[in-house]
Structure 1
Amino acid sequence: MPSSPLLTNPTLRALIALAVFTYTAQNMINVSIAPLSRALALPEWIVGGAVSLAAVAVTALSQFWGRRSIAWGRRRVLLTSLVLALIAGTVFSATVWARSAGALGVVAASAGIMLARGPFFGSAIAAIPPTGQALVAEVTQDQTSRVRGMSAFSGAINFSVMFGSLISSALGAVWIFAPVHATPWFIVIALVIALVWVPKDGHSRSPRNTQPTCAPGHSSSSMTVTGELPPRVSWLDRRLLPWIGGVFGMFFANGVVQILMGFIVQDRAHLDPSHAVSITGLMLLTNAAGAMLFQLLIVPKLAWEPRRLLRGGITLGTVAFAALAWAPTLPLVVLSTFLMGVASGLAVPGFSAGASLAVSPEEQGGVAGIMNATGSVTWIFAPVSAAALYGWNPLAPFALGLSLIAFSCTVAWAHPRLLRHATTS
């Protein structure tokens, strides 16, 4: 069985390292934002609105960044995105400080938080997953290695969620605002990694040469920048629609869990906001642990085809999400949340590998953007709708999420293209 590209490609290792610190920073904000909204006396819908605006930016720019990681080069794209993320994190931290000090009113603080965490931060981090996924596709050509590579990259992202949850829990236990103010420093670490370890991009004299510059599984010190954008991939491409439809509900359900967990632990365990930060972080840690365990350890050993991974994950996710909706105690919430993570650990690598294998090598930059945007497009609607519906009836957002994940489960099992397993290798 071929080894994971993570072990053989130094550029991918550097990209995963900077992704870990960047997504740790993002998750520190995600864990804190629900308790923060109450501690700062801001409307609850601000929580969903900020994340939804970020998702709009990610959806709009994922394919933009994915294609330009090939045309401009990975180093230029990553450095640009990390500088933007650093500015956004600093603005978010400053806004929280000013509001807590009484220097900003509700309207100004809400606007600052929504813009910094929303389109500003979202535009920045939109570059990282498609850049990494396009690199994985470049260094893998067969189905088994593609699944292993995509699973390793997704597992690293989930490790950052775990790490961010631990840091948020520890810092939040000391001071509720500490995770927010620590966020920019994690972006600084990611920026240093990009400056030092991501190779400088070369330039090709043959602008139409868009083929990989190194053999699968082997590393190259730098990529060849063509200067010409690779083909754009359509959302309505029939090769991709069954994979998108089969995972869409999972992403939506995860968005509901991520945003509502801060409220769930407060309401079901009767906790105040300051204590809820630590418990929320531990809950999201449990979710990420399930996903990371399967993506890094179990999926590579299973050696399942993408279709089987997608079906197994979405089926388990449907059951786990239904259980979470009714879980009356924290232990049952923990178990349901862990199983949601396991479900993602199966479904997401299946989706990523299946969609990547369905298109040509020249389309990998575009399809990497589509894959990243598929998750983010659900976050446009999931956070704001979940937060609003939860305020009306705590079971309402779960009913919406369950209907969508059940739809995806049906697509995964019944779509004609997945029945024929119409993918290319």
Structure 2
Amino acid sequence: MSDEREGGAGSPVDRRVLLLLLGAVLAAFTGQQLLGPVLAPLSRELRLGEVQLGIVITTAAAVLTVASLFWGRVCDRWGHRRVLLTGLTLCTAGLAGFAAVAAWAIGTENPPAAAVLTGMIVMRSLLFGFGVGAVPVAALAYVAAATVGETERTRAVSLVGAAQAFALVLGPGFGGLLAAGTLLAPLYLAPVVLALITVVVAVVLPREARAGGRRTFPPARTLSPLDPRLRRFLAIGFLLFLSLGTIQIVLGFLFQDRLRLDATATAAATGGAGFATGLVLVAVQGGLVPRLRWGPVRLLRVGSPVAAAGFGLLAVGPGFWSMTAGMMVAALGLGMALPGYTAGPTLALGPAEQGAVAGLVNATNGSTFIVGPLIGTALYAAGPALPVALSSLLCLAAGALLVRPFRPTAPAAEVPVAERGQG
């Protein structure tokens, strides 16, 4: 093998393979997001409380976090094609099973609550959660092995993130529209979408398309979240993602209770608001942030208080349009702040530590969706506006951590990059 191959230089990106991988990411997360507008009203139809639904979502987040670590370990041995197909198959089975459980429960008079909750956890949390963790891992493994240089790799990795963000637009919008007819429609469509993309990947994605036959980077150094170069970025990221995790599952309840809607109207309202919010998020991350050319710290300093203001408006908004406006303002702020948080740690460390810092960032993000839904549903039971008010305070706390100037102990050549644009 040539020295270039051993050194980890990637092979040229196969556009067909990349498009298939992006399509798989889009389909998997769209299938997940299709269910978003119906989960809250569906749980009420099935006589499940807010805390029980929070357990379903929290379990799914925990499974996804653990599964991502597993898929990352086996991807080098199996190849991205096998990992992707296995994950998509599990996703399809999980969503089909979830639809079957919901249809049975709705069609049964007084179904046992324990049986309904167990079925939802097994299908939605365990089976689907484990499978969906494989999809972005396979996509990122391919682009990391098939790209060379910071600019090319960053661009390719950003496409994977863009596909996930676009799913936030498509899923809630279509889910809300479909639910206007029946709550079960999105549940039936989601596994069909996943089954179709699984077949396409199995037929079209070549077996020999595995990029780079070997691990392309040396094993990452072990990093502590308390590393002085990282800890403030990680603390800020934890607070920002916790603001999302806290309100994610209670939004449907908030719309239903504040606007006095029935289950079908709740799904439509939540889906419409989610669609508008997703459009803002995609526009900010895909258009505004690249044009601003701000550094991570400046993005965080501007975005965090804007997000706090948006959550504040959502907490007190009396009607659909004011609540939706609050969500859109929050998306504007988070659309600026989250890229700053994600980029900041990578710019504060050297090349040999990038794998380790990526693991810490992903673990930080995932952990917030384990505890966030439990906090949100518990607070909602005490007062509907409390989870949203907490999200606003969390964003303000993230901004407060930015008052003192950053002095990361990065390599000298990289410190100015991490601090660029603070003013």
Equivalent position of 1:166 in the other structure = 173
Q: Distance in 2 between matches of 1:75 and 1:402?
A: 41
1:315 is matched with which residue: 291, 305, 315? 305
Equivalent position of 1:224 in the other structure = 212
Equivalent position of 1:213 in the other structure = none
**Which one-letter code corresponds to 2:212 in the other structure?**
T
1:177 to 2:184 alignment: yes
Give yes or no for contact 2:80–2:141 (8 Å, CA) kept in 1. no
Equivalent position of 2:242 in the other structure = 252
Give yes or no for contact 1:147–1:350 (8 Å, CA) kept in 2. no
Q: CA deviation at 1:418?
A: 5.5
Q: CA deviation at 1:177?
A: 1.2
1:17 to 2:6 alignment: no
Deviates more, 1:30-39 or 1:366-375: 366-375
1:285 to 2:305 alignment: no
SS in 1 for 2:27: helix
2:202 is matched with which residue: 195, 205, 210? 195
Equivalent position of 1:124 in the other structure = 131
Deviates more, 1:15-24 or 1:365-374: 365-374
1:49 to 2:55 alignment: yes
Q: Over residues 99-142 of structure 1, what are the superposed CA-to-partner deviations in whole Å (9 max), with x where a residue is unaligned?
A: 11217411100111123222332222223334444555553634
Pairs within 5 Å for 1:293-332: 293-332=283-322
Give yes or no for contact 2:142–2:211 (8 Å, CA) kept in 1. no
**Which one-letter code corresponds to 1:120 in the other structure?**
L
Give yes or no for contact 2:247–2:391 (8 Å, CA) kept in 1. no
Distance 1:170 1:301, change over 3 A: same
Distance 1:325 1:56, change over 3 A: same
Q: Over residues 167-190 of structure 1, what are the superposed CA-to-partner deviations in whole Å (9 max), with x where a residue is unaligned?
A: 212210111111112221121133
Distance 1:14 1:298, change over 3 A: farther
Equivalent position of 1:114 in the other structure = 121
Equivalent position of 1:241 in the other structure = 231
Q: CA deviation at 1:423?
A: 8.0
Equivalent position of 2:149 in the other structure = 141
Distance 1:190 1:302, change over 3 A: farther
Equivalent position of 2:9 in the other structure = none
Aligned identity (percent) is 30
Q: Distance in 2 between matches of 1:361 and 1:191?
A: 35
1:82 to 2:71 alignment: no
1:73 to 2:79 alignment: yes
Give yes or no for contact 2:88–2:135 (8 Å, CA) kept in 1. no
TM norm structure 2: 0.84
Structure 2: gaps of 5 or more residues:
1-12, 419-423
Distance 1:83 1:235, change over 3 A: farther
Q: CA deviation at 1:61?
A: 3.1
**Which one-letter code corresponds to 1:277 in the other structure?**
A
Q: Distance in 2 between matches of 1:13 and 1:254?
A: 29
Q: CA deviation at 1:26?
A: 0.5
**Which one-letter code corresponds to 2:225 in the other structure?**
L
Q: Over residues 284-331 of structure 1, what are the superposed CA-to-partner deviations in whole Å (9 max), with x where a residue is unaligned?
A: 112211111112222222233333333332232122122221222211
Deviates more, 1:51-60 or 1:225-234: 225-234
Deviates more, 1:411-420 or 1:254-263: 411-420
Distance 1:343 1:71, change over 3 A: farther
Q: Distance in 1 between matches of 2:81 and 2:48?
A: 39
Q: Distance in 2 between matches of 1:180 and 1:197?
A: 27
Q: Distance in 1 between matches of 2:58 and 2:173?
A: 24
Distance 1:102 1:362, change over 3 A: farther
Deviates more, 1:221-230 or 1:236-245: 221-230
Give yes or no for contact 2:27–2:193 (8 Å, CA) kept in 1. yes
Distance 1:166 1:395, change over 3 A: closer
Q: CA RMSD in A?
A: 3.0
Q: Distance in 1 between matches of 2:332 and 2:16?
A: 28
Equivalent position of 2:3 in the other structure = none
Distance 1:71 1:308, change over 3 A: farther
Equivalent position of 2:373 in the other structure = 383
Q: Distance in 1 between matches of 2:397 and 2:79?
A: 38
TM norm structure 1: 0.83
Residue-pair matches, total: 400
Deviates more, 1:310-319 or 1:358-367: 358-367
Give yes or no for contact 2:347–2:415 (8 Å, CA) kept in 1. no
Give yes or no for contact 1:50–1:115 (8 Å, CA) kept in 2. no
Q: Distance in 1 between matches of 2:143 and 2:302?
A: 23
